[in-house]
Structure 1
Amino acid sequence: MTGTTDDAARPAPDRPWAHDAVGPRTKGLRLDGPATVADVLAGSPRVTDGAFSWPLLTLDDATLDHNVGVVARVCAERGVEHAPHVKTTMSRALFARQAAAGAWGATVATPAQLRTVRDWGVPRVLLANELLDPREIASLREDLARADAAGRADEVWLCVDSPHGVELLARGLAAAPAAVRARLGVLVELGVPGGRTGVRSTAAALDLARAVHAAGLRLLGVTGYEGSVAGGTSADELAAVAAWCDGLRDLGAAFVREGLAGVDEPLVLSAGGSSFLDVVLAELPGPVAGADGREVEVRVVVRSGAYVTHDHGFYSRTDPWSRIPGAEPLQGAATVWGQVLSVPEPGLAVCGIGRRDVSFDIDLPVALWLRSQSDDGWLPARELAGTRVTALNDQHLYLALDADEAGASQVTGPATAQVRPGDVVGFGISHPCTTFDRWRVAAVVRGDEVVDLATIDL
C-alpha cells in the first residue's frame, strides 16, 4: 500500500498505452463515454475518485519497480539474459518496465500473443511453443520480411518438438530470402514424460536437431520448462530440477559436438525460471566443450514472467529469490478490491468479487486490507487480520471473520465488528496469470494516487 518512486517514472501522456481506449464497459472504471488512459490520468486521480469503481485491480508502483529491479540485477550479475514471459500480464505498460530494466526480449505462448507483442513494437520475441498453422508461419515470414526491408534488427525465436513442425516451418520459409530466414531462430524443446510439450528423449531431440539443420533453418540450441519436473521445493524436488538442467546442458553440448549449433554463434539454453531460477542459474551457465575440445560460449535465456507482480500464494511459497545468495525476496504487487455487499450473520461477510475477477485455480484469495467509509469519505486502508476466504461464486466471495488463523490476535476487536456493508476489502492473489486474464485495465498506484493505467490485451 505504500512506497514511492521518482516522479520521472510516471508515464508521460505520449507513451503508447496512454492513447489506449477505455470507456463505460471497462471493468474497474466508471466513465460516461469513450476516453483514453491519458484522459483518466489527467488531474492525478485517486482510487476513491469518481472515475474508479469496485471491483478494482491495483498494482503497487514501488513493488513493481522492486520486483523488476531484483530480477534484472540478478540476471545481469550472473551473465544471464532475460526474455520475460508476458503471457502473465499481456500489458504493454508492464513490459515497458521490464524492457527498460534490460530485458533481451519478450516471451509469448501463442501466435496471437506474438502478433500482439510485435504490434507493441517489441523487436525480439521468443514463442515458447511450436508453430503448426501454415497461415501463422506465412504471417511470421511476412512480418520478418517487413522488418528486414525497414533495416531493423528484429528476430523471432520459436520451439520445435516434432518432425512435422520442422517440415511445416521449412516449407513455409522455403521461398524467403536468406536474410529473412536468418531472423528466425529455432530451439529444440526437451520435455519430460507426463509433462507438457517437448520431445521425451535426448535421442529424439538429436534427431529433431538434425532435421532442423538439414532444412537449412537457424538452430540456436535447446529449451524446456523445468516446472514440469517438480511441484514443490523440497531438497529432492530441487535435485530433480538440477538433474533436468544438467540434461539440458548435455543435450546442447551434443548439438555442438555434431556441428548442429554453437558454430557461428553461442549455443542457446533456455528455461522458465519462475519457481526454480536459483537452480537454473546454478546449473545452466558456463561454456560447453565442442568436438575438438574447444570451449563454446553458452547464452542462457530465462523466461520468468510471474515475478513482475509476484503474488500472495503459489509464487510466494516457491519464491526462488529467497534461495539466491545476494537476492532480495520478491513482493506481491497486485490487489483486487471488492466491496462488502452483506454481513448477513456473525462471522461472515460477502464481498462483490468472484471467479470473474480473481484467480482461484491454485489458491483462494487472501484478505489483506480493509477500507471503511465515513461521513467525510473513504478512510485510509488498514491491515485486516483474522479472516479467511472460504469460497467463491461467479460474483461473490465468502469471507469468514474472526477466523481462528495465525495473526487473528493482531485484530483490534473482533473482525465482525470492523467489517460493515459498503466497506472495501483488498485481496491478495495466488497465480497472477489467471487474475490478469479477467481484467482489461489495472490501476498502478502509489498509496491511493493512480499514477498509471496498465491496459491488458487478450
Structure 2
Amino acid sequence: MIEPNSRHPDATSLHKGLPETGNRLLADVSLPAAVIHEAALAHNLAWMQRFCEAHGARLAPHGKTTMTPALFHRQLQAGAWGITLATAAQCRAAFAHGVRRLLMANQLVGEANMAIVAGLIEAGADFYCVVDSAENVRQLGRYFAARGLCLQVLIELGVDGARCGCRGQNEVMALGELVESEQALVLSGLEGFEGVVHGDDQESQVRGYAWQLVEAAQALDHDGLIENPHPLITASGSVWYDLVAEVFLEAGLGSHFVPVLRPGCYVVHDHGIYRSAQHAVLGRRPGIDQGLRPALEVYAQVVSLPEPGLAILGLGKRDIGHDQMPEPLRRHREGGSIGDIRSVAGWRITKLMDQHAFVTLPHDERDEPRHDPVRVGDIVALGISHPCLTFDKWRRLCRVDERLEVIEVMETCF
C-alpha cells in the first residue's frame, strides 16, 4: 500500500510502502493519487519533439510544469535541447538530478539567487537567464566579475502593460550595449513570452509579437552586440507554440540563431485549457496528425452519498488544480477489472473544499432502482486543467500502464 500524497515522510519512510511493478491502481494504491498514463506520455514526448524538429527548432520544455526529474530525463532522452526553469532554486534542483543545460526564463535578481547560479556554473552547468533592466545588468556584472565567472544572458522583449521585458526595440538595443560593456556578461540572444500578448485578434497579435522578436534579435546581431557564436532566440508557452515556430521558420533564423521553443504542459497535456488550445492548434494546422493526449489524471474514491443527487469524493484543492473544475471521466469498482467501466455521464463537480469534492449526480442516479448505482468506495478518474497546478500538490505520482498497474513512482522536487 502506498500513500502517494504523503507530504512529510521521515527519512526511512520514503522507501517504505512504495509499490512494486504490478501493483494495481484500483486495489493496492492509497487514494487519492495523481496518475500518469504511459501510453499518452510516450505519445506526447514524441509528438512535440517531432513538431519542433519539423520547424527547425530546439525544444527546452518548461520544467516548472512538473518539477519531476524522471520526466526531465524522458524529455531529454526524446531529444530535448535542455530544460527551462523559472527560479534559481528550480535550476539547482534540476541540475542536482543531472540536467546540465538550464534556461531560466526569468530575471536573476538577488545575491542569494546569484550565488546559487554561480555554484551551478562552477559545477559545469550551461546556464542562461534573462535581463530587462540596466540595474539588473550592473548587479549581475559586479557579482559574476567578483566570482571570476561569465554569465550568459538573454535580453527579454516584453509588451506594454504586461509583465517583465524591455518595452520596444530601442530599449533592447540600449540594454545590449550595456551588456557588452560588462566583461562578466555574455549576450547570448533574445527571449520573449507570447502568452502575455492579448487583444481582440489574439492570433494576429501573437504573430506580430513573434516578428518583433525576430527583428530585435536580428538588430542585435547586425550591430555585433551578440557575443555567443550560437545565439538563441526563444519564446513559446503551451498555447501558441505553433505560431512562434512558424514565424521563426519563415524568418530563416536557423541559419545563424538557435530557435528554442519552451512549452511545458504538453508532456501530460490536460482535459481543460490546453485541450482547448490544442484544438485551436489543430484547426490552424490541418496537416498535423493526431495531436496531444491527456496523460495526467487524479483518481479518488466516493466517500459519502449523504443525500439524493449528491456524491462526495475524497479529494479537494490540496490534491488537484482548480483553474477549472475537474472533469469526471470514468468510474470503477474498487478492486475491479479495468474493463469494468461504470458511467459518469452527467456527473458534475460543483464545489471543491480542501479535501472534498461535491458532485452533482444526474436525475437517473437519484432514482431507484438503478442497474448501476454509485457506491461508497467507487473509484473515479478525474481530468485536470492546467497541469502546473496539479503537479505541485504531489510529492509522488504513479506512472501506470494500460492495465492500470503501477510501473514507476515519480518523485517531484518542488
TM-score of the aligned structures, taking structure 2 as reference length: 0.90
1:24/1:242 CA distance change after superposition, 3 Å: closer
CA contact (8 A) 1:222 1:252 kept: yes
Q: Which residue identity is paired with 1:45?
A: N
CA contact (8 A) 2:157 2:165 kept: yes
Matches within 5 A, 1:392-431: 392-402=352-362, 418-431=373-386
Which shifted more, 320-329 or 190-199?
A: 320-329
Shift of 1:144: 1.4
2:173 alignment partner in structure 1: 206
1:18 alignment partner in structure 2: none
Q: SS where residue 174 of structure 1 aligns?
A: helix
Q: SS where residue 390 of structure 1 aligns?
A: strand
How many angstroms apart in 1 are the aligned matches of 2:220 and 2:327? 47
1:19 alignment partner in structure 2: none
2:396 alignment partner in structure 1: 441
Q: SS where residue 152 of structure 2 aligns?
A: strand
CA contact (8 A) 2:214 2:251 kept: no
> How big is each residue's C-alpha offset from its partner over 1:345-370, in whole Å with a ceiling of 9 and x where there is no partner?
2222111111111111x211000010
**Residue 384 (str. 1) matches residue 344 (str. 2):** yes
Higher relative contact order (CA 8 A, sep 6+): 2
CA contact (8 A) 1:64 1:333 kept: yes
Q: SS where residue 64 of structure 2 aligns?
A: coil
2:328 alignment partner in structure 1: 367
2:248 alignment partner in structure 1: 284
2:61 alignment partner in structure 1: 84
* Matching residue within 145, 161, 176 for 1:194: 161
Shift of 1:49: 4.1
How many angstroms apart in 2 are the aligned matches of 1:210 and 1:278? 32
How many angstroms apart in 2 are the aligned matches of 1:321 and 1:359? 24
1:264/1:365 CA distance change after superposition, 3 Å: closer
1:338/1:431 CA distance change after superposition, 3 Å: same
* Matching residue within 162, 169, 190 for 1:222: 190
RMSD: 2.8
Which shifted more, 381-390 or 413-422?
A: 413-422
Q: SS where residue 18 of structure 2 aligns?
A: helix
1:172 alignment partner in structure 2: 143
How many angstroms apart in 1 are the aligned matches of 2:41 and 2:69? 14
1:378/1:331 CA distance change after superposition, 3 Å: same
Unaligned runs of 5+ in 1: 1-21, 148-153, 290-294
* Matching residue within 49, 61, 73 for 1:72: 49
2:315 alignment partner in structure 1: 353
Q: SS where residue 337 of structure 1 aligns?
A: strand
**Residue 258 (str. 1) matches residue 223 (str. 2):** yes
> How big is each residue's C-alpha offset from its partner over 1:372-430, in whole Å with a ceiling of 9 and x where there is no partner?
14xxx3343525222111111111111111179xxx9xxxx999953121111111000
Structure 1 segments (4+ residues) deviating >4 Å: 22-26, 28-31, 286-289, 413-417
Identity %: 35
CA contact (8 A) 1:402 1:415 kept: no
1:453 alignment partner in structure 2: 409
2:238 alignment partner in structure 1: 274
1:403/1:247 CA distance change after superposition, 3 Å: farther
2:6 alignment partner in structure 1: 27
Q: SS where residue 30 of structure 2 aligns?
A: coil
Shift of 1:198: 1.2
Shift of 1:176: 4.2
2:106 alignment partner in structure 1: 129
* Matching residue within 203, 206, 225 for 1:238: 203
* Matching residue within 62, 77, 88 for 1:100: 77
Shift of 1:26: 4.4
Q: Which residue identity is paired with 1:348?
A: L
1:415/1:107 CA distance change after superposition, 3 Å: farther
How many angstroms apart in 2 are the aligned matches of 1:249 and 1:364? 38
* Matching residue within 9, 24, 29 for 1:46: 24
Shift of 1:221: 1.3
How many angstroms apart in 2 are the aligned matches of 1:170 and 1:337? 49
* Matching residue within 362, 376, 387 for 1:432: 387
How many angstroms apart in 2 are the aligned matches of 1:58 and 1:29? 20
How many angstroms apart in 2 are the aligned matches of 1:242 and 1:415? 54
1:14 alignment partner in structure 2: none
Aligned residues: 404
> How big is each residue's C-alpha offset from its partner over 1:215-268, in whole Å with a ceiling of 9 and x where there is no partner?
13211111111011138xx8x21111000001111111110121112x662332
CA contact (8 A) 1:267 1:296 kept: no
Unaligned runs of 5+ in 2: none
Shift of 1:213: 1.2
How many angstroms apart in 2 are the aligned matches of 1:335 and 1:28? 19
TM-score of the aligned structures, taking structure 1 as reference length: 0.82
How many angstroms apart in 2 are the aligned matches of 1:221 and 1:435? 33
Matches within 5 A, 1:102-117: 102-117=79-94
* Matching residue within 285, 288, 304 for 1:326: 288
Q: SS where residue 159 of structure 2 aligns?
A: coil
